[in-house]
Chain A
Amino acid sequence: MKSPLTLEPLFHVGPAPITEPVVVAWAVMALIAGFAALSTRRLALAPSRSQAAVEILVSTIDDQIRGTMQADPAPFRALIGSIFLFTLISNWSSLVPGVEPPTAHIETDAAMALIVFVATIAWGVRSRGIGGYLKTFAEPSWVMIPLNVVEQFTRTFSLIVRLFGNVMSGVFVVGIVLTLAGLIVPIPLMALDLLTGTVQAYIFAVLATVFIAAAVGERREPSADAAP
């Protein structure tokens, strides 16, 4: 049986081997970018149908960020929204026959968790200054410094393994059932995969929001309460 932890390169670009998840991830990125470019090309005050649909999506993401962070979602919308959409569409890409979701391989998840890790530090430093951000490691007292440092890494690692494990186990189970029984039998499991994929994308985005919110701190922006 093929190991879910190893990858065969499909082709080489110069010295760099390109594997299947990379191709699928770029396809998903191109899909999202193309859809975003198309749907925002002719923005009108009285929205058309497609614009209204995109607005519902954006305002839902905004509401979630505002509910979690208690702050103005505008600076975080791009990152959190992209993470959510990319994870969701990657998880659902298994619906296309022959495509394995890129999130079912640990490298893609590691890349996204690394982005969250760097973004957490960057936003923490930007909003508190380097000294202020380092000081948060000594909260509530200096005894907690090693624990807080270790936590930074373990929570990133658990972010990786959570997404990887959930999506990979779905793919794995469908593969096993497919070798046992024919055409129709794996369909309920695939439907369960769609639910798991949605929930995991949501959780990944929410956890990223929580981490960034913890790094940015309690400083409430005045526009947060004024916003509807």
Chain B
Amino acid sequence: MNDLIQAVSIFSAALAVGLGAIGPGLGEGRAVASAMEAIARQPEAAGTISRTLFVGLAMIETMAIYCLVIALLVLFANPFIK
């Protein structure tokens, strides 16, 4: 039984990271694309735009990081493995 739970845990950890990276990936791509467009239109505002972009990217990336934390919880602190 324990072996089965371990196998399922590893699989679900991989699934959590893989699926959880899709949304933030799409979101970050859109954010960077619009930031590039904005910089191309207004190069003088590049400083402000890239600073805001970094903060926004970190916020979006946090969603993927949550998935990573869940995956690590499943792998290392699984409450169902004795």
**A interface residues, Cβ below 8 angstroms from B:** 3-6, 158, 161-162, 164-166, 168-169, 172, 195-196, 199-200, 202-203, 206
| 0/1 string, B32-68, CB within 8 A of A gives 1 | 0000000000000000000000110111011001101
Chain B residue contacts of A203, Cβ below 8 A: 55, 58-59
Q: Tell me how far the C-beta of A211 lies from the nearest C-beta in chain B, rounded to whole angstroms.
A: 15
In the complex, 24 of the A-B residue pairs with CB atoms within 8 angstroms, ordered by the A residue number, are A3-B72, A3-B77, A4-B72, A5-B72, A5-B73, A161-B69, A162-B62, A162-B65, A164-B69, A165-B66, A165-B68, A166-B58, A166-B61, A168-B69, A169-B65, A195-B54, A196-B58, A199-B54, A199-B55, A200-B58, A202-B55, A203-B55, A203-B58, A203-B59
Minimum CB–CB distance for B71 against chain A, Å: 10
Q: How far is the CA of A60 from the CA of B80 in the complex (A)?
A: 49
Residues of B within 8 A of A5 (CB): 72-73, 76-77
- Given contacts A199-B54, A199-B55, A203-B55, whether A165 and B62 have CB atoms under 8 Å apart is yes
Interface of B is mostly: helix
Residue of B nearest to A166 (CB): B65
Q: Which residue of B lies closest to A4 (CB)?
A: B72
Report B-chain residues with C-beta under 8 Å of the C-beta of A206. 55
How many residues of chain B have a CB within 8 Å of chain A?
15
Given contacts A3-B76, A5-B76, A6-B76, contact A165 B58 (CB under 8 A): no
A161 in contact with B58 (CB, 8 Å): no
Q: In the assembly, what is the distance between CA of A199 and CA of B65, in Å?
A: 14
**Nearest Cβ distance between residue A15 and chain B, in whole angstroms?**
25
Query: B69 — which chain A residues lie within 8 A by C-beta?
Result: 161, 164-165, 168
Q: How long is the Cα–Cα vector from A102 to B8 in the complex, in angstroms?
A: 32
* Shortest distance from the beta carbon of B49 to any chain A beta carbon, whole Å: 15
B66 adjacent to A161 (CB under 8 Å): yes
Closest 3 CB pairs of A and B: A165-B65, A3-B76, A199-B58
Report chain B residues within 8 Å CB of A4: 72, 76
Which of B61, B65, B77 counts the most chain A CB atoms within 10 A?
Answer: B65
Q: Once bound together, how far apart are the Cα atoms of A196 and B55, in whole Å?
A: 10
CB-CB under 8 A from A172, the residues of chain B are 72
Residues of A within 8 A of B77 (CB): 3, 5-6
